[in-house]
Structure 1
Amino acid sequence: MSQRKGRTALTRTELDSWRVFVETTEDLRTRLGARLQSESGISSGDYRVLLELSEAPGRRLRSSHLADAIGWERSRLSHHLGRMEKRGLIRREAAAGDNRGAEAVLTDEGRDALRRSSVPHFHAIRELFVDALTPEQLAAARDVAETLRDHLDKLDRSEA
């Protein structure tokens, strides 16, 4: 692993690697999001919220915990939840025992929307990502992603 502490300039190879990584992941996310929207009628943001709530105990999470889980600012999440609530995908309730907090709760309609969208979404993931890679490349992609996540987590802990 290359760790050049103190060096500020990027080499041409480092910069090219960064650009292809960022541009390709952005293109992949854009394509997956467009397919999800066109095939299922929900956005990638909707899907992330619905998935987190479906995996939470009682299908509910405090808004602050949900924002942290999906990496969104609380104000962004609040606006998004308002739109989802109008569509019947979630409802918001006061947190039990805490009048200051609110919980997002997955509705039956939201659970059904997640189920309907998952099969076409998984097909798109296979077509656009998994099928493009050999099993070895897929394992390497996971290793790179986990290494980056661990590095970012360490930086977060050192800043706290």
Structure 2
Amino acid sequence: MTEPRWLDTFQQRDWRSYVEGSVRLADLLDRDLKAKHGLTMAEYEILVRLSEAPERRLRMAELADVASQSRSRLSHTVSRLECKGLVARNTCGADKRGVNAELTDDGFAFLSKAAVDHVATVRQFFIDVIDPEDLAAIGRAFTAIAEQVDKAR
């Protein structure tokens, strides 16, 4: 067997900073959305993805991919959003086997209000505390990470 490639002191420090910071930030964003709008981050992400899609509609399988959720988890999350009147499900036009999730007009209006608060929190705890050069580096780094993870799937 080959010897593990242990992290050096600086790599360990940076890795731990990433883990601690990302967990704390995700928790804060989730708590903030729940407190102000009764939404989880997963629900918010689905609403955002639907708002950006043509006709505010995506096939459930595609929505699961872009929202980084399993199909089973997505189905449960969309059910909660349906109960709130924010999302509707209907069959795909040409392919009756497929199911679309569609952002309702109420869902779009709700998201528009939630997005104002959410972006303020993102700015306060992420964007505005990072130098622009470092922010660009984070963007490049996580694009590379996402691509590497996608290759491993």
Give TM-score scaled by structure 2 length.
0.89
Q: How do residues 21-40 of structure 1 correspond to structure 2 at under 5 angstroms?
A: 21-40=18-37
Q: Select which of 37, 56, 65 maps to 2:62.
A: 65
The residue that corresponds to 1:49 in the other structure is 46
The residue that corresponds to 2:91 in the other structure is 94
Q: Which runs of 5+ in 2 are unaligned?
A: none
Q: Which runs of 5+ in 1 are unaligned?
A: 1-5
Residues paired across the two proteins, number: 151
Q: 1:96 to 1:23 in 2, by over 3 A?
A: same
CA shift at 1:147, angstroms?
2.5
- Whether 2:144 is the aligned partner of 1:147: answer yes
Secondary structure of the residue aligned to 2:39 is coil
The residue that corresponds to 1:9 in the other structure is 5
More displaced stretch, 11-20 vs 75-84: 11-20
Q: How do residues 72-111 of structure 1 correspond to structure 2 at under 5 angstroms?
A: 72-111=69-108
Percent of paired sites with the same residue: 36
- Whether 2:102 is the aligned partner of 1:114: answer no
CA shift at 1:35, angstroms?
1.0
Q: Select which of 128, 133, 141 maps to 2:130.
A: 133
Instruction: Give RMSD over aligned pairs.
Output: 1.7
